[in-house]
Amino acid sequence: MPAGGKTAGRPTLGRWTGRALKGSALLLVLGFLVTSIRSNYNQLADYPLRWNFTSLASVLAAITLVFYLQSVLWNLILRRLGLTLPFHRTAYTYFLSLFGKYIPGKVWVPAFKIFHLNGQTQDRESGSVVIVSVLLEQVFHIASGLLFGCLVIDFEKTFGVPDLPISIAAVFLSVVVIIMPAWTVGLVSRFRKNEVTERQIQVTLSLKSSAILYLSYLSLWVLFGAAVSLCAGSLFGLPPGIHLEIGAAYALGVIIGFAALFAPGGIGVRESVFIILTKPVFPASVGILFGFALRLVLSGAELTGLGAAYVFNRILKSGVKG
């Protein structure tokens, strides 16, 4: 009995230690944000908030378009893996899954995609393809975002670190991602060996298709960066021009926040990375304010896309029944 009690107590102690470390790390990040706001608060006067609703409407439309095109790319991945679904169905699932990031945890966005599509396909083989497609989509999305951020951000100016090694590392990662789909699916197949066979989830994603998909995701990051730049210009009246470094900073913030296991939804980490990387453009207090404003714009784009996808699905279903 004592041995059992001792064994049972170890995982509990480990869990509480892990939670304490995660909580401490999160408090440090949030403390950095608060300190940045207090020390740079007076600089907000130099960047008065203005509302250019025409520009903001253009930003909303552009970001909604980016989200929709990402759902199209996901549909193309599914098709290359052998599962053909209507574009409107994957678009609705994609927009619905975006709200998973508002739930604490890192798994809800992909989980929503998997469970929602699996509920419509209702067979084990298709379910395996959906899982693989979600994994490949995340790999393409994250790797292309890292490349976009590393090529645009001037790390030498911000941190005194040479840009070339960082750019080379990002390009190398991208090359690995482009040639790795079959290997990734093999890992998933072995992990689920009791449920599916390798034949059932055989990869039909050629090197050419993989490269085209990757470049498409990279292009969407550039479009997103341009939209974020326009958003910053419309809110704070930045000098004319496309400030891609603002979008690149947000992209890196999102990706690093996703990787930060101690931060629910990347909160705090995303904003900290963003204000550090945008210091050459505007002070930390403006970076924090813009980060929250952009979050509202992104939520508006998600709601707009979800509403449009829902209405479109209802119209198509009514047409089929009629």
Work out whether the CA dihedral 65, 68, 74, 78 comes out positive or negative. Answer: negative
pLDDT digits (tens, 9 = 90+) for 94-111: 999 988 877 766 677 888
Q: What is the pLDDT of residue 22?
A: 55
Separation between Cα atoms, residue 149 and residue 151, nearest integer Å? 6
| Model pLDDT, residue 239 | 64
**Residues of the chain below pLDDT 70:** 1-49, 104-106, 120-125, 182, 184-204, 238-242, 260-268, 318-322
The percent of residues in the chain predicted with pLDDT above 70, rounded, is 68
Q: Where are the domains of the chain?
A: 53-321
Q: What is the pLDDT of residue 82?
A: 83
Give the orientation angle of helix 53-80 with respect to helix 87-97, to 10 degrees: 120
